């Protein structure tokens, strides 16, 4: 087995970082060369450091981890990215794999699983924790739909809808006609193929496009 494998962690919870660092140190054959609580910190680091493995929490304060993954692979294609997340939605897993990730594990994975995944990823294979494998195994119809995008305005309105505001309330707040707000709402519902606002919020949250 190789020595001096360079690893970094991005997670906004210091305690999690502590856990991973102590875990890696116990392994002996790799070292944690950096740990960050935000995506921007990581990017700065990446520009003048090499990295073999990156453990990446996809729920970060400053940036969507899925996009961050793509950026990382662009800067440093040789780095194997393993996503660490609480999200069990198949679409999210698929998205980040499409963006070049080498693996995906859930936060409730055992320490053993994490170890195994790191090793698997180092071998150039795709690495998943048990639960993730099950999720991947059962394909869903929704994945065929393709992922729609929301415009800036749509997102803005969606956020207000998610707060429980009414159409007229939103219209007042944004100085729009209620009809406009309605149109945006309906366009979003159409994009996600849902039939009411609550489903819209749920689906958008699932797909991290809120």
Q: What's the token pair of residue 63?
A: 């940036």
Q: Is 63 in the site for its own copies (CB under 8 A)?
A: no
Q: Which is nearer to DNA, 108 or 177 (CB)?
A: 177
Question: Phi then psi for 16, rounded to 5 degrees?
Answer: -65, -45
Using rule CB under 7 A, residue 76 touches DNA = no
| Contact positions with its own copies (CB under 8 A) in 108-167 | 108-111, 114, 161-164, 166
Task: Decide: is 63 part of the binding site for DNA (CB under 7 A).
Answer: no
SS3 151: coil
* CB contact at 8 A, 170 and 157: yes
Size of the site for DNA (CB under 7 A): 24
C-alpha–C-alpha distance, residues 195 and 203, integer Å: 11
18 binds, options DNA, its own copies, none, Cβ within 5 to 8 A by partner type: its own copies
Edge to edge, what strands does the sheet with 80-85 contain? 30-36, 5-10, 53-57, 80-85, 103-106, 127-128
Stretch that binds DNA, among 70-78, 121-129, 130-138, 181-189 (CB under 7 A): 181-189
Residue 189 binds to its own copies (criterion: CB under 8 A): no
188 binds DNA (CB under 7 A): no
- Residue found under tokens 């099950």: 134
Task: Verify binding: residue 198, its own copies, rule CB under 8 A.
Answer: yes
- Return the number of the residue (73 or 85) whose C-beta is nearest its own copies: 85
Stretch that binds its own copies, among 12-20, 28-36, 118-126, 146-154 (CB under 8 A): 12-20
Are 7 and 33 in contact by the 8 Å Cβ rule? The answer is: yes
| Residue 194 in contact with its own copies, rule: CB under 8 A | yes
Which residue from 19, 34, 148, 178 is in contact with its own copies, where contact means CB under 8 A?
A: 19
> Could you tell me which residues come within 8 angstroms of residue 25 by beta carbon, excluding any fewer than 6 positions away?
31, 32
* Cα–Cα distance, 81 to 124 (Å, whole number): 11
Q: Which residues bind DNA (CB under 7 A)?
A: 149, 151-154, 166-168, 174, 176-177, 179-180, 182-187, 189, 195-198
């Amino acid at each position: 087995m190789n020595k001096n494998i360079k690893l970094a962690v991005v997670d906004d919870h210091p305690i999690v970082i502590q856990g991973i660092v102590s875990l890696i140190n116990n392994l002996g054959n790799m070292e944690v060369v950096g740990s960050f609580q935000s995506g921007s910190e990581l990017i700065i680091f990446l520009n003048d450091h090499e990295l073999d493995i990156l453990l990446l929490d996809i729920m970060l304060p400053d940036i969507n981890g899925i996009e961050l993954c793509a950026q990382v692979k662009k800067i440093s294609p040789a780095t194997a990215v393993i996503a660490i997340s609480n999200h069990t939605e198949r679409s999210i897993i698929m998205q980040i794999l499409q963006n070049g990730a080498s693996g995906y594990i859930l936060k409730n994975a055992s320490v053993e699983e994490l170890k195994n995944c790191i090793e698997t990823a180092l071998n150039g294979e795709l690495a998943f924790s048990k639960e993730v494998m099950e999720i991947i195994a059962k394909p869903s119809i929704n994945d065929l739909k393709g992922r729609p995008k929301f415009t800036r305005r749509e997102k803005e309105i969606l956020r207000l809808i998610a707060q429980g505001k009414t159409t007229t309330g939103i219209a007042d707040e944004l100085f729009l006609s209620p009809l406009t707000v309605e149109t945006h709402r309906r366009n979003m519902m159409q994009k996600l193929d849902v039939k009411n606002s609550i489903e819209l919020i749920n689906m958008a949250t699932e797909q991290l496009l809120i």
